[in-house]
Structure 1
């Protein structure tokens, strides 16, 4: 069964990498920042700025967004000022070390180990929040990502080492994420050596609740994460 799933992920990975839905990118501008415009042209009013290495998640694929402008925050940024994280060198691709509950990607002084554990419902507070058309699963006070039902598993830890230095990833960066898949093609790491920025990108979840996450580590310090929209129906573990 596991081999069939891996084959399925292989066949669909290209679609994800091309940003069939949203894509992760970072600001890269020679000025060190990019202007946010009120409208989709360079003469439009500047309504804000974003510094280099700001992580964003937007519709960048030409099929869905043929314009050279991307809507971010309160305005628009020109796509030429953004760089896809997948354009940075990958770490550990094709050299993954797997166990049933973990995967390690390591190369060039960088090591990332993602570990999962079974979900024990007796150790968590589980409630439902009613909305007009659906019920939201709440676990330990947070909206549960990846499932509408009691999850099978969740993250145990994310261990990162960069050039001999351990990077502390706070539990709050992953403790609301469930239905974790530790197959190679669901977990990718990219490294921007020039600015010393590491990106950990994963795909998780069940069916319509599938999701993407990207964690960003800047100069050896955890900075942020962005959760992307569901991938369904293009991936159903």
Structure 2
């Protein structure tokens, strides 16, 4: 029953996020202006360099060519749609297996293996730290990092490993980059490859229902580059 409930909540969240998605900034000037509203005459409130990753929400209601984007915790605003390349528009690396224990993606000489496992809270309780929210103690950090995927609940699952094989190159995403990501949903994981720039993207939508988050991992020219984590609403 619990599994069905989580699946239903994830499905609802997925429907809500039918447009929202990751995108890369692409601008011949090397950067794009971030504006306060969806208008070319609006105040410039920041700049985002080309190749940086943003999370795109729905277009401006008054002008569909302007997108509401989130860049980091302090930077959000509007950019023109001509300045982004959606990650899902790149070549899809299809899934071979996607279940509660693993996800495997393969195309040609590219293979992605994602292993997950049940989370043992009793053994790992010592790695949690708490903060005070209105007089209530909340576990909000795991091994010194912000917890993703829970809403005050005990984590049920976590990533065990994520490895990528591109030709004869094998890349493992560092444990530090995945150990604080919980309640994994492999069914909502996808892989895309930008052949022109030799860049592999792995995207996820994970949730326990209320504690939803999206993640993107980037492998560039055979080396792990970075991750991007967002609250998708």
The bucket for the TM-score relative to the shorter chain is 0.7 to 0.9
Higher percent of residues as strand: 2
Q: CA deviation at 1:57?
A: 1.1
- 1:193 is matched with 195
C-alpha RMSD of matched pairs (Å): 3.4
Shift of 1:180: 1.0
Q: Are residue 125 (structure 1) and residue 127 (structure 2) matched?
A: yes
Alpha-carbon spacing, 1:190–1:133, altered in 2? closer, same or farther (3 Å): farther
- Structure 2: gaps (5+ residues): none
Count of residues in Structure 1 that have an aligned counterpart in Structure 2: 225
SS of the residue corresponding to residue 88 of structure 2 reads helix
- Stretches of structure 1 that go unaligned for 5 or more consecutive residues are 232-237
1:82-231 to structure 2, matched below 5 A, reads 82-92=84-94, 95-98=95-98, 100-120=100-120, 121-123=122-124, 124-132=126-134, 135-137=137-139, 138-147=141-150, 148-183=152-187, 186-229=188-231
Distance 1:209 1:31, change over 3 A: same
Mean CA deviation greater in 102-111 or 118-127: 118-127
Q: 2:86 & 2:6 partners in 1: Cα distance?
A: 24
Give me the whole-angstrom Cα distance separating, in 2, the residues matched to 1:65 and 1:86: 23
8 Å Cα contact 2:9/2:209 also seen in 1: no
Does the aligned pair in 1 maintain the 2:158–2:182 contact within 8 Å?
yes
Alignment check: 8 A CA contact 1:17 1:86 kept: no
Deviation of 1:131 after TM superposition, in Å, equals: 1.2
- TM-score w.r.t. the length of structure 1 is 0.77
Normalised to the residue count of structure 2, the TM-score between the two structures is: 0.78
